[in-house]
């Protein structure tokens, strides 16, 4: 990653605050366990470990050495530090034919989202699936936030290591299509329709 990357600080193996409303939607997107999954940007491994506990074959990679240390300590052999600028997966993962890549609440933190999606595209073979979640931004939601005086709190610009990209369904779909994915499914998660906390998009390679 770039030296300008501000590492998200992981100190505990706890679930992320968003997992309570993300996991049911993610599980619906995944369906039954069916081949190896790569959690791209796995952080402290909490999502991947939850999936492992449900019988999925999951591995995780992340730029955060602190996060991977926590994850690997709880599930040895499943988690690896990854610098995307290296261009490929860590050697132990290179022989695994991943059918699915998941990425939850990561792309909004990245300076180079196109490079991130291109990396996922290169990992997956034909017919492979990328399932990606990110905070939802839409006209109605932003209007409600503005009327309530919540825009500054929502955009979190003073959070070091926080969000630097703000995606709508339209912009994330366009990015995926530019990187040769075909978008198949969309679902909102958390709160009410059109003011969702986050969105999940599934796309096929």
Q: Which residue has the tokens 């300076």?
A: 111
Domain boundaries, the chain: 19-204
pLDDT at 13: 61
pTM: 0.88
Query: 52 CB contacts (<8 Å, ≥6 apart)?
Result: 58, 75, 78
Overall fold of domain 19-204: Rossmann fold (3.40.50)
Token pair, residue 153, equals: 């709190």
3-state helix, strand, coil in the chain (%, to 5): 35, 20, 45
Q: What is the CA radius of gyration of the chain?
A: 16
Within 10 angstroms of residue 131's Cβ, the number of other Cβ atoms is 21
Predicted local distance difference test score (pLDDT) of residue 172: 97
Tens of pLDDT, residue by residue over 123-134, are 998 999 999 999
How far is it, in rounded angstroms, from Cα 175 to Cα 187?
Answer: 17
Q: What is the rounded distance in angstroms from the CA atom of residue 124 to the CA atom of residue 98?
A: 6
CB 106 within 8 A of CB 40: yes
Over residues 18-41, the pLDDT tens digits come to 788 999 999 999 999 999 999 999
């Amino acid at each position: 990653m770039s030296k300008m990357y501000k590492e998200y600080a992981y100190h505990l193996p706890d679930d992320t605050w968003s997992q309570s409303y993300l996991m049911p939607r993610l599980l619906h997107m995944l369906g039954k366990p069916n081949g190896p999954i790569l959690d791209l940007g796995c952080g402290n491994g909490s999502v991947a470990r939850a999936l492992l506990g449900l019988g999925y074959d999951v591995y995780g990679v992340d730029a955060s050495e602190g996060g991977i240390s926590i994850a690997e300590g709880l599930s040895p052999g499943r988690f690896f530090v990854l610098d995307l600028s290296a261009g490929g997966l860590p050697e132990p993962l290179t022989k695994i034919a991943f059918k699915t890549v998941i990425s939850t609440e990561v792309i909004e933190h990245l300076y180079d989202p196109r490079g991130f999606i291109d990396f996922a595209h290169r990992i997956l073979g034909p017919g492979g699936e990328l399932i990606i979640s990110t905070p939802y931004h839409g006209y109605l939601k932003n209007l409600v936030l503005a009327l309530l005086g919540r825009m500054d709190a929502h955009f979190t610009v003073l959070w070091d290591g926080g969000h630097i990209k703000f995606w709508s369904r339209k912009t994330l779909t366009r990015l995926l299509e530019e990187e040769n994915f075909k978008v198949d499914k969309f679902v909102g998660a958390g709160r009410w329709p059109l003011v969702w906390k986050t969105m999940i998009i599934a796309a096929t390679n």
